[in-house]
Structures are given as C-alpha cells and as structure tokens.
Amino acid sequence: RTAALIDAAGPGATAERKILYYRNPMGLPDTSPVPKKDWMGMDYIPVYEGEEQDAGTVKVSLDRVQRAGVRSEAAAMRVLARPIRAPGIAKPDERTLRTVSLRADGFIEQLYVNESGRHVTAGEPLFRLYSPQIVNAQVDFRVAAGAGTRDPRDVPSAVQRLKNLDVPQAVIERMRQGGAPVLSFDWPAPVSGYVMEKNVIEGQMAKMGEALFRIASLDPVWVIADVSEQDMALVKIGASARLSFRALPRETFEGIVTFVLHELDAATRTAKVRIEVKNPEHRIKHEMFAEVTIDAGVGAAPCLTVPVSAVIDSGSRQVVLIDKGEGRFEPRAVKLGVRGDGFVEVLDGVKDGQQVVVAANFLIDAES
C-alpha cells in the first residue's frame, strides 16, 4: 500500500500512512494513542488509516495460507448422533420364558427330555404322567356324560375341571368322543425353546405347583447394557444400537432400545438399558458379554454445528476462526453444546453458512 502511495505522488515523492492508534498485541480491547508495551513487554501494534474496520482480524499472506494447508468449512445445520458406549450381557427374553408345572400331584413314569440345554418344539412330549386326581376328573366326566337324567350343566362343569387341571387338549377331546379314562398320558411342551432348567427325574413324584422345566427362546434375546449416569438423558426408547460380542468378534448385530430402567445402581452409578436383538440362528447365547454402541440423538432437531477441529479450546475460552477471504481471519469466541459424529453444536458466536477454519487453525492462532 505504501508503494502505491509513492507511485501516486510521483517519482521521488514519499507518502506515509497515518497511524490512528495502537492496539493490544494479544487482541485485548484496550488501545493507546501512543506507542507502548504490554505487561509482557510486547509492542502495541499500529493501526493505520483505512484499516480500523479490520482491527479485529488477522492477516496472513495467501502464499503462507496455501503452504500451511489452511482449510475452511461452512457452519451448517445437522442432526448430531452421539454414540454412547456401554458394556452389556445377553439375557433371555422374559416374554418367552415358560415354567412347566402340574396342577395336581402325579408320578413321572417316563422322562423324554432328560437333559438341560435341549431344544424342544411346542407340542413335543416332555414326560409321561400318571396322576390319580386327573384320572378321577376323567371318571367324573364319564359319569356326567353318561347320565342323561342328571343336570345338563354337569358335563360343562366336568370339562372345565379337566381344563383347570391343565389336562392336555388331546386327552379332553378323547373323553368328549366317548373314550375311556386315560390312566397315563404324555405331557406336551407349551412353547418352543431351550430347556434352561430341568428339575425332574424319571420315576419321581411331582408335587402340585413344583417347577419341573424352565423353557426359554433364543430369538429374540435381550442385551442389558449398563449406561453411565451422565449419558442417561440422551438414551431414548427406539434408538438403534450396534452390538459386538466377545465370543463373535467379527460380527456386528443390530438392536433397538426397548426399555430404560427408572433406577440407578447406587454402587456403579449406571442404569440398565434393555436392547432387543434378533437372533434367528441362535448364535447369541445367554450370558454372553457384549460391547454396545447406542446412537443417541437420532431423530432430534437439527442444530448449528461446526467440525470439532475448528474449535481452539484454551480451557476457559473456546474460539473459532472465521474465514473472511483473501487471507483475513477473525477470532471469535463461541458457546458450545453437545458433541457427536466429529461435530460440535454452536449455541452462540457463529451463524449458519459462515466459513470457519478447520485445518491449520493453530498457525493463524499463533499469528493472532
């Protein structure tokens, strides 16, 4: 600019720019009408006429900007999906759990399913049962069905008694067709699944209400994750989750958050989050350890964000550099919000579409 003034004045002429004031070298708002030094001994920087509107900007030569690899990106509205990581353990889906028990005392004449862990299908015989009480109920039905002069309500009552004893439907249908009482019969599995517990042996007497088998399905399974207290507010019902199991290190499973327990563990300060995972091939076993990543924030409203690399954090103050073009950059203090996906929410200090420096910003910070 000085050379331009000299050329305009003609050969041999000199022209000097007028100094308006001196500004603080560290960017503080104080100025001085005369040269001075700050408390660290640094000279105040002169501000010349015509430059006062850019007193808050930093100027770097375009050549140096290119060599340093300075790169800018526009602040934009985005939906931040913040990944929340937590450990988890696979558990049986409680909706598929069934306990096999009797409603009358009986004797296990033959045990067909005689080992834990075996897979059974609905209707498959578990054991053969003899129960004097169930035989008596069949005899009462035969008496009621064969006595035409008695109260017609006796037959439905006799059928209901058989149902109350949880007699298999096949036995009831045989009685309806006029068959003789069945002294012993096969007890079918109520659901399909794996035998988690077997509390019966062949030949034993089974008491009324005693749990003989505990059956559970492996599809789907629940994964109970321990989410830390500070992340609980971000976990929502319906959020997607990715899971990897230590026993299956090369596979990733998808799940959905279906429930968040409304109670914290006092010792670990974590809350239980239930994730439902499809398991059609039954590869996920109960009690497997899992590493869970929950996509928190999905479905939330967009917010103004900048890349995390654009923020210069001094601890007490966060600053971004606004790229004004032609090597001019303006340091600007910002107020930040949540982070996620490599971006951070900007609550104040930057407008949508403004260019911020995302690479080599520490070079410009040093210049300022």
In order of 268, 327, 335, 368, the CA distances from 22 in angstroms are: 57, 22, 29, 15
- pLDDT tens-digit profile of 65-91? 777 778 888 999 988 777 889 999 999
In single-letter form, the type of residue at position 142 comes to R
The pTM (predicted TM-score) of the whole model is: 0.60
- pLDDT tens-digit profile of 248-268? 988 999 999 999 998 898 899
327/264 Cα distance (integer angstroms): 53
Structure tokens at 338: 């949540």
Per DSSP, helices labelled H in 167-211 are: 169-176
* Helix (H), strand (E), coil (C) string for 214-270: EEECCCCEEEEEEEEHHHHHHCCCCCEEEEEECCEEEEEEEEEEEEEEEEECCCCCE
Measuring CA to CA, which residue among 97, 341, 122 is closest to residue 221? 97
129/306 Cα distance (integer angstroms): 71
- pLDDT tens-digit profile of 3-57? 443 444 444 444 577 888 887 776 666 788 899 988 888 888 887 776 555 556 7
Measuring CA to CA, which residue among 279, 148, 146, 140 is closest to residue 222? 279
Return the H-helix or E-strand segment holding 187.
strand 184-188
Query: ∠284-235-77 over CA atoms, to 5°?
Result: 120
Query: Quick check: 320 and 332 in contact, CB under 8 A?
Result: yes
368 residues of the chain, pLDDT tens digit each: 444 434 444 444 445 778 888 877 766 667 888 999 888 888 888 877 765 555 567 777 777 777 777 888 899 998 877 788 999 999 999 998 999 999 999 999 999 999 998 999 999 999 999 999 999 998 888 888 775 545 556 678 888 899 999 999 888 888 888 778 889 999 999 999 999 999 999 999 999 999 999 999 888 999 999 999 888 888 888 888 999 998 898 899 999 999 999 889 889 999 999 999 999 888 998 899 999 999 876 666 788 999 998 898 877 788 888 888 877 888 888 998 877 778 888 999 899 999 998 887 776 666 65
Measuring CA to CA, which residue among 57, 47, 43, 40 is closest to residue 21? 47
